[in-house]
Amino acid sequence: MGAKARKASKKAINKASSQFPNSDSKTASADFLPLEGDSSRELPETKPQQNKATVLYIGRIPHGFYEKEMEAYFKQFGAIKRLRIARNKKTGKSKHFGFIEFENPQVAEVVADCMHNYLLFEHLLQVHIIPPEHVHPKLWRGFNYKYKPVDYVQIERQLHNKVRTLEEHKKLVEKILKQDARRRKRIEAAGIDYDCPEIVGSVQPAPKKIKFDED
């Protein structure tokens, strides 16, 4: 049997099989309904997805609605696990958004449904559920830390009242004299007739220590 005969026989077989597409058991089963009690045709049961999200994002928090007020307000829905308000690191002021975590996922879902777009002190709260995979691992770092803002007034007071050496005092006086000279030039340029008080710029040396004899 030659090569041409083999090709011709293969074409004939393929043509015959194409006329009966349902002859195959895999394709033929799609055109017939399954018999009753046939477990192979039963669809797998889809289990409802359980909500495990317990963290909520709360935006547009009004002024004065801070950690204590927020905890007292939201604990009426259920037990609160953690709560945090984003604050400025320097001033300690609220950034008007925060996060709250409940112990029960169903409570978190109820809070998100009830409190979203809730009018509170002329602010519409924005409450959204955060999926567990989107919760940042560093979200609750320092959540129970009572932030104390830096007292810059006290720092400047200490710098102003510190004991200076002779060189530091000399530089301070030179700086004051330069500022006074610039102020006088601005007053003269403005055409104002004003006698500025003189600033004494002399720096007195520190008194010498007197040594006494032991006798």
Q: Is the pLDDT of residue 18 over 70?
A: no
Cα–Cα dist 142/140, whole Å: 6
> Is 24 part of any domain?
no
Give the residue-averaged pLDDT of 33-49: 58
With contact defined as beta carbons under 8 Å apart, do 113 and 125 qualify?
Answer: no
pLDDT at 197: 83
Range of the domain at 170: 152-189
Whether the CA torsion 103, 109, 115, 117 is positive or negative: it is positive
Quote the pLDDT of residue 57: 97
Is pLDDT larger for residue 189 or for residue 214?
Answer: 189
- The pLDDT value recorded for residue 5 is 67
Owner of token pair 């720096």:
203
Residue 214 lies in a domain: no
| Domain match, 166 and 96 both | no
Q: Based on the structure, what is the number of domains in the chain?
A: 2
Kindly list the distances between the CA atom of residue 34 and the CA atoms of 27, 29, 38, 106, in Å, as whole numbers in the listed order: 14, 8, 7, 41
Is pLDDT at 11 greater than 50 in this prediction? yes
